[in-house]
Amino acid sequence: MATVAGRIGLKSLAATSMALAVSGAFAAGQQALRDDTQQVVVTAQKRAQATVDVPQSMSVVGGDALEKHQAVGFSDYLKLVPSLQLVQSTPGEGRIVLRGLDTGGVASTVAVYLDETPFGSSSGLVNGAILAGDFDTFDLARIEVLRGPQGALYGASSLGGLVKFVTNAPDFDGFALRARVGVASSDGGKTGYRSNLVVNTPISDTLAFRASGSYLKEPGYIDSIGVAGSDRESNINDARNYGGRASLLYKPNAQFNLRLSAVAQNIAADAPSAVESDPDTLDTLYGRPTLSQYVPTRRDMHYRVYNGTANWDFGAASLTSSTSYSTQKQFIREDATFNLSGIVADNFGVANELYLGQEVESKKFTQELRLSSNEGQAFDWLAGLYYTDEDGAIAQRYHAVVPGTMDPATGLPLLADIGLRSNYREIAAFANTTFHLGQHYDLDLGGRYSRNEQDARQVSDGALAGGASDYRADSKENVFTYAVALKRKFGERTALYARAAKGFRPGGPNVLPPDTPPGTPATYESDSVMSYEAGLKTESSDGRFALDLSAYHIKWKDIQLLAIVNDYGVNTNGAGATSDGIEFTASYRPVRNLRLSANGTWGKAKLDGDTDPLVGGVKGDKLPFSPKYTLALMADYRWVIGTTTPAYAGVSGRRVAGQHGAFDSDYRAANGRQREIPSYNVFDAHFGVELGSWTVEAFAKNIGNSDGKTSTSAIVANGGFVYPNGAMSTGIITPRTIGLTLTKEY
């Protein structure tokens, strides 16, 4: 925390943070745009700070903004956060990318937190890269996004940055209840609906309770139209997102509080939100969104998060203890008929349709203790210990069924049954200190030392798996990461900063048979980034104008990639990469009730060397899903109808420039370049009227019905699934969606 004389103290900042969270929950529709003189308070650096005091690039999206933009997941608030990209073809299964740091690996480059809980696997053995926690946004206080490596404070798998969901805490002020219902219809699809409920109640002077629940039914809009004998079925990609949160706050005095919380959320998708596309142009085939389906697919995701956080104020310092247990389970039925059923029929003489059944499970226990100074003296400090123990499991089995049914086909041997179990343990010590060098200068120094140990066992059997096998592997690694930042403040609302930081992603074991030829890597090392960043944060004294501007240069070393060594597919360390860019966020209020805002990124992320031929990247290739630039423009206006009826409206437009899809060696060999995804534009609008305790809102997303692509399927050599007529699958943004919501506050 950077503090100088006259600046808001930590204790008052913490109180302000709670007040902001509560007002965002129940008064979002009733109050005007936030007081322009009030500074936003965040906790992304593990202590309450005004955003101008955070010496790095970050974005804050409040709960009010999330509701106004009808944001229910990552894809809905991309326009609100510069440099944030999402590679996705199925709800609940997405890869988050910040500042272009993506090569399609199996471990995440962006850390996700829910309050004090790190969520998702830290290892590369549980598909953590594509299973980022896409938490429901109803009754959130805010989302904080820190860009650039966060290795000093957050450790593993925060190479590109951090996304932190901050929930509203229970409130002692009184009973409140808020309910919302809504309907929405997507172009070419069915009608969906939603319902939300949140209740807050004090139980006593020292105990308060808060709970919320949500149910969202997203309408399908993709059809299977019978190409090459596939099924004929409409709207196959229906999805449901439902669950709830509960929190109990015990505060017997001003020096101690304990918060217990639990989250349960399920995301169930009947089919991917992907369509068959021309493999060269990526144009959607057959004149409408279609995906050939032989066996009905499904993807179910279950989140469970339990946390207890206690805070003790000892006067000069505060102690925080956070204990968490979380689970993440995914159930998949993947249609593999078109690319494998023929092989099975040719070899065993049995007509069949085929699907891959897969279960992925991650169980994670974490404990963090940290002690931090309360009042700014010559320096502020924070020190802590962190421990995590993660169990992971992936089970895969191929199932052959009688064509047109889900009945098991007879007369076949076991095709493939593969199980991988793993364990990841990490212990770390970290510290951060802010030296106040006079009235205007602050120097931040942070470091983290960690040790991780991993072990894994893979058991497999079946005709397609090469027979019975049982392999074990383990690895150990010590890592040091750090961050250094210098900030120069000009008054209370303007600061210049420069930051250098290192981040890492853990390495791990390769599960290999005992007779593996010499030279095949038994382990792969951690990869790391070194980031250099400079920025300006400024806001006028009346809050009418604000600007955040940053420039960065990132060197990515020893990138974790899939490779073929001695005919074995392994994780290994390969080519480096460089990412350079500029980001900005700006807002301006020409008159009191009109706010204009913009954010954008210009970036250039490319490989510094060739990858393994299996991956298909060549020196100079742009990193996947890293557009040259993105730009979002928004306008929000409030007024009064008559003399007593508040109303508001907003419009937004986002442009995503051309980018490259996943690395593809065959495509590059044939075309001399990687596959290019065309640029696209997305326009949204919303309108609302406040009628006493009722609020009526109408919204439209993707008004122009853009066919923006959000993912490209892997090549066959990498285990991807192919489609009839040489088509490939591409994720797409949801077509034009129009909806209406009704909210009641009690």
- Is the CB of residue 630 less than 8 Å from the CB of residue 652? no
pLDDT band at 37 (very low <50, low <70, confident <90, very high): low
pLDDT band at 376 (very low <50, low <70, confident <90, very high): low
| Beta partners for residue 198, in sequence order | 178, 212
Above 90 in pLDDT, residue 190? no
pLDDT at position 615, please? 82
Pairing of the two strands 41-42 and 545-557: unpaired
Q: Which of 65-74, 222-231, 565-574, 662-671 has the lowest mean pLDDT?
A: 565-574
Q: Which of 498-507, 557-566, 572-581, 737-746 has the lowest mean pLDDT?
A: 557-566
Give the pLDDT mean for 457-475: 90
Give the pLDDT mean for 254-279: 95
For the chain, give the percent of residues with pLDDT over 90.
73
pLDDT tens per residue, range 73-95 = 888 989 999 999 999 888 889 99
pLDDT at position 72, please? 87
pLDDT at position 562, please? 78
Q: Which of 214-223, 340-349, 383-392, 713-722 has the lowest mean pLDDT?
A: 713-722
What is d(CA 689, CA 696) in angstroms, rounded to the nearest whole number? Answer: 5
DSSP line for 382-422: EEEEEEEEEEEEEEEEEEEE-TTS-SBPSS-----EEEEEE
pLDDT band at 498 (very low <50, low <70, confident <90, very high): very high
pLDDT at position 36, please? 54
- Is the CB of residue 303 less than 8 Å from the CB of residue 265? yes
Q: Which of 421-435, 591-605, 702-716 has the lowest mean pLDDT?
A: 702-716
pLDDT at position 124, please? 87
pLDDT at position 17, please? 34
φ and ψ at 149, to 5 degrees?
-60, 140
pLDDT band at 625 (very low <50, low <70, confident <90, very high): very high
Identify the residue with better confidence: 505 or 18. Answer: 505
- Domains of the chain, by residue range, sit at 10-607+626-745
Query: 3-state class of 609 per DSSP?
Result: coil
Give the pLDDT mean for 526-545: 94
Above 80 in pLDDT, residue 720? no
Matching residue, tokens 């510069």 = 82
**If you average pLDDT over every residue of the chain, what do you get?**
89
How crowded is the C-beta side of 262, counted as CA atoms within 13 Å? 6
pLDDT at position 717, please? 39
Residue 346: Cβ within 10 Å count: 8
Q: Which of 112-116, 347-351, 467-471, 564-568 has the lowest mean pLDDT?
A: 564-568
Pairing of the two strands 560-565 and 568-573: antiparallel
pLDDT at position 21, please? 32
Residue 602: Cβ within 10 Å count: 18
CATH ID of 10-607+626-745, from 2.40.170.20, 3.40.50.2300, 3.90.1150.10, 3.30.470.20: 2.40.170.20
pLDDT band at 521 (very low <50, low <70, confident <90, very high): confident
pLDDT band at 565 (very low <50, low <70, confident <90, very high): confident
pLDDT band at 386 (very low <50, low <70, confident <90, very high): very high
pTM of the predicted protein model? 0.91
Identify the residue with better confidence: 114 or 612. Answer: 114
pLDDT at position 33, please? 40
For the chain, give the percent of residues with pLDDT over 70.
93
- Is the CB of residue 506 less than 8 Å from the CB of residue 156? yes
Give the pLDDT mean for 325-352: 94
Above 90 in pLDDT, residue 239? yes
pLDDT at position 236, please? 95
pLDDT tens per residue, range 545-554 = 999 999 999 9
Matching residue, tokens 């009184």 = 174
Give the pLDDT mean for 250-272: 96
